[in-house]
Chains A and B, each alone.
Chain A
């Protein structure tokens, strides 16, 4: 990665579109592909705001009268338990992940342990362990310990699921912190906890936010573990959605409304923090 930089006098701004026609064509192409990817989602929103009769017509009407029947049916079925369970499991496990990942990332970057690369490699390799390959012992353990259908057990497994990714991401953010800052704090007599909390954490806050966002999304989205480990009391929102899998379309507006409502926390977090998402996803490995 040693690319010689040209002196500043020769630098130019990225505005260089002399070929305006070509630029216009590419812009239109970008818009077209963007719309193509967005249309299924848009369709889902449209259908969710229709009456069930309008939603299930053949051929589909592109425009139909506005109705909140789908949402009324969805909320009428009292989905708050599953939504709350998902929120609890996702928020708690994200907090736990950051709490555990932050010191670990410190030990892998700023004052690295010996063979830190091997440790990092091991962490990463656990992500290659498909959840199905561990699900039976987890299920049996839950059954024997009486923790089946318990949100605490789910939270713990979500933590272990996301911890490697968070460590991986935070490590690369921590590696950017100037060593002098940390040394200065330690000369002033700060211990590890103080250094982490008062010197390093503020600097890598964007990194922590990015890692937390991604852990939250992955926990909220998880279905397989939740489906095996929970049934009624601790049922999560994705498991609740599986109730719509076999419905043969009679309640299409409700299916779309339910899918959208369950996706709202992730959509909101993702839209609000697009930049963090981008940095978070790329930083992990490439820096």
Chain B
């Protein structure tokens, strides 16, 4: 039962920490625009060279066009295949892509295992005497699982080697960075070893995930299986507490900074947020600022500097 408790607690920690991270982003004040072009939801003609709606004469009098399709055309290869890294740093891509794709495949494998467990618990033919659905799901779990473990282990080893041996990486890596990467690598290696030695068809994994859904108790039968469950659970809890949360926080870096070019229209939502910000009272101490904690940004912006140098 202890393994299940650990998994439940770790998953709850993941959810809580992720919600906290996301909530903090949503509640931060609206910042000034700081976009970088190309902004990928621009129209097809403009996104090709990085143009913006500001290239139009009297742009404010025209309807602003944007394209979700163009955004997806960029984001899907970026998320799945690390397109940006492929373009800007091909050498690193060779290590980083298998590592990240391995992680995605682990998530997909867990999804497959969860679906398998749910269907089994509801009495669907997946757990009975066979059928196409069972074959497909079993095949998917085994294929995604193996491919993910191999890619993730190779990518993790390559990244760790680079971090240890490449001076450019080593000098900027803290013990925490080595630990984080080592943690993910340890999970991949233990899971790969478990698959190789004791669970090549992911039968044990299916049993454990089924137990997770049923609240039952089907403890791992081998030490390698137990190690994988412990490492995997702890890793899930650990990711949102570190910079590895960029896996999902990248959304904010792109959509709320790099591609946030929404113009401020009179009477609109953005203007309301700006007015709220202008009421804040800064406390910067340099003499020219003339902030005293009682004067608002709006009043300071309308004043002259407090000193000549």
Q: A and B from one assembly?
A: no
Interface residues of A (CB under 8 A from B): none
